[in-house]
């Protein structure tokens, strides 16, 4: 039910399409993040107008509230969110290890506390699969352990051992044929552990493969050095997903390495904080220089924000504390990312991906960009 067709290549960069029960997705693709079943600040209609086709929702947060049972009772995640296109849900593993107060971890499960009210919770591969089955996303993720950076080699090996074991358990527990299951490669910045994890997951024959444990504090150069070999070890005929990435330059580097799917909170997080993306670099909408500027955020952008509103007006909204300011900037940022990905796809078809930095200096390896923890 999930054919993945590759149509063009430019070096290791791939152009293709992934078919899901809720529609076809052109790759490489960027997924806006709808953590709690909502991409912050925008409606599904506005989100679709930005060009988004595949979005991500967060298993951990949805299980805390309203719970997967409630989502299922209300018709599944697509109906619950009012989103007709494909959805990917993570397994909750990253959030458990980064947000929850961990009480106990074994090779079988993690027991932790809700970051909302401190209630005790348990998550293991079977529970993660059951939750995601109830949510009903098109693509679901195996339960994994993401080691923090920095971690010593023993801690990384332990996390990889558990990731491999839990991946096997997820395969056994996975029942729905209308959901594609992706395995997640862990291993920190240690290439030998990355290779061991990759080989074990490939032998299990997942529908696709994700690279986790990056965008957690390493440098851009460290990310690229880790990603380049890992991408070559993954099957060519399956989609490849780099979790939690990221900035335009990180995405471009990963596309060049052969990655197909991306997600990140930056378009809406930055939008809420008055930072707009533009091809030449970020635009800070609160700055005094925009006070009487009647130009749009970006002159050649076709988004609703740039077609109707000036920088001066948007600056006024932020300074007046109006909700519309973050919404309009988020809409622009979401459209910026979709235009950026569309241009990447076009240039791969033309065999000219290397020229994109001429149009998008923000994606240059030398561009100065803040790196955040985005998974």
| CATH number, residue 16 | 3.20.20.105
Is residue 61 within 8 A of residue 95, CB to CB? The reply is: yes
CA distance linking residue 227 with residue 256, whole number of Å: 10
Q: Distance of alpha carbon 375 from its chain centroid, rounded?
A: 7
To the query of whether residue 300 is one of the catalytic residues in this protein, the response is no
Q: What's residue 265's pLDDT?
A: 97
Is residue 220 within 8 A of residue 253, CB to CB? The reply is: yes
Which residue has tokens 């707009």? 276
Q: What's residue 369's pLDDT?
A: 56
To the query of whether residue 152 is one of the catalytic residues in this protein, the response is no
Residues 9 and 133 both lie in one domain: yes
Q: What's residue 238's pLDDT?
A: 98
Helices (H), 66-217: 68-73, 77-81, 93-98, 125-135, 153-173, 191-204
Q: Which two tokens stand for residue 222?
A: 């460290």
Output phi, psi for 211, to 5 deg.
-110, 110
Residues 207 and 324 both lie in one domain: no
**Average pLDDT over all residues of the chain:** 95
Residues 239 and 290 both lie in one domain: no
Q: What's residue 183's pLDDT?
A: 98
In a domain, 375, yes or no: no
Domain boundary among 206, 241, 264: 264
Helices (H), 107-190: 125-135, 153-173
Q: What's residue 371's pLDDT?
A: 41
Q: Distance of alpha carbon 346 from its chain centroid, rounded?
A: 21
Residues 121 and 244 both lie in one domain: yes
Q: Which of 190, 207, 260, 263 is catalytic?
A: 263
Domain span at residue 329 reads: 272-362
What own/partner pairs with CB < 8 Å and gap ≥ 24 does 68-77 have?
A: 68/130, 68/131, 68/132, 68/134, 68/135, 69/134, 71/37, 71/134, 71/135, 71/136, 72/134, 72/135, 72/136, 76/135, 76/136, 77/37, 77/135, 77/136, 77/137
Using one digit for the tens of pLDDT, what is the confidence trace for 121-138? 899 999 999 999 999 999
Using one digit for the tens of pLDDT, what is the confidence trace for 163-180? 999 999 999 999 999 999
CA distance linking residue 136 with residue 20, whole number of Å: 12
Q: What's residue 247's pLDDT?
A: 97
Residues 287 and 212 both lie in one domain: no
In the predicted model, residues of the chain with pLDDT beneath 50 are 370-375
Residues 233 and 334 both lie in one domain: no
Q: What's residue 324's pLDDT?
A: 98
Q: Which of 10, 90, 144, 207 is catalytic?
A: 90
Instruction: Count the domains in the chain.
Output: 2
In a domain, 371, yes or no: no
In a domain, 17, yes or no: yes
Domain boundary among 264, 285, 307: 264
């Amino acid at each position: 039910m999930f054919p993945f067709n590759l149509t063009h290549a430019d070096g290791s960069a791939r152009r293709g399409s992934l078919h899901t029960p809720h529609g076809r997705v052109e790759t490489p693709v960027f997924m806006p993040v709808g953590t709690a079943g909502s991409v912050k600040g925008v409606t599904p209609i506005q989100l679709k107008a930005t060009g988004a086709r595949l979005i991500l929702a967060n298993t951990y947060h949805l299980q805390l509230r309203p719970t997967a049972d409630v989502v299922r009772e209300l018709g599944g995640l697509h109906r619950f969110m009012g989103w007709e296109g494909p959805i990917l849900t993570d397994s909750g593993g990253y959030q458990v290890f980064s947000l929850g107060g961990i009480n106990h971890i074994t090779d079988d499960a993690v027991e932790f506390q809700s970051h909302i009210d401190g209630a005790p919770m348990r998550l293991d591969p079977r529970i993660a699969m059951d939750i995601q089955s109830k949510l009903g996303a098109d693509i679901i993720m195996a339960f994994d352990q993401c080691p923090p950076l920095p971690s010593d080699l023993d801690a990384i090996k332990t996390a990889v051992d558990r990731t491999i074991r839990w991946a096997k358990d997820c395969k056994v527990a996975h029942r729905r044929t209308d959901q594609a299951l992706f395995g997640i490669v862990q291993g920190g910045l240690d290439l030998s552990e990355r290779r061991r994890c990759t080989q074990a997951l490939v032998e299990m024959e997942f529908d696709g493969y994700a690279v986790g444990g990056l965008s957690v504090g390493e440098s851009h150069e460290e990310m690229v050095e880790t990603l380049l070999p890992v991408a070559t070890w993954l099957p060519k005929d399956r989609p490849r997903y780099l979790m939690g990435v990221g900035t335009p330059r990180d995405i471009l580097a990963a596309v060049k390495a052969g990655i197909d799917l991306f997600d990140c909170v930056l378009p809406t997080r930055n939008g809420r904080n008055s930072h707009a993306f533009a091809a030449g670099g970020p635009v800070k909408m609160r700055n005094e220089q925009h006070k009487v500027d009647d130009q749009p955020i970006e002159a050649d952008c076709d988004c609703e924000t740039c077609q109707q509103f000036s920088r001066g007006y948007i600056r006024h909204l932020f300074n007046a504390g109006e909700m519309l300011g973050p919404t309009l900037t988020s809409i622009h940022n979401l459209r910026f990312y979709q235009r950026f990905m569309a241009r990447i796809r076009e240039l791969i078809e033309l065999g000219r991906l290397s020229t994109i930095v001429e149009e998008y200096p923000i994606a240059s390896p030398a561009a100065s960009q803040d790196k955040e923890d985005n998974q």
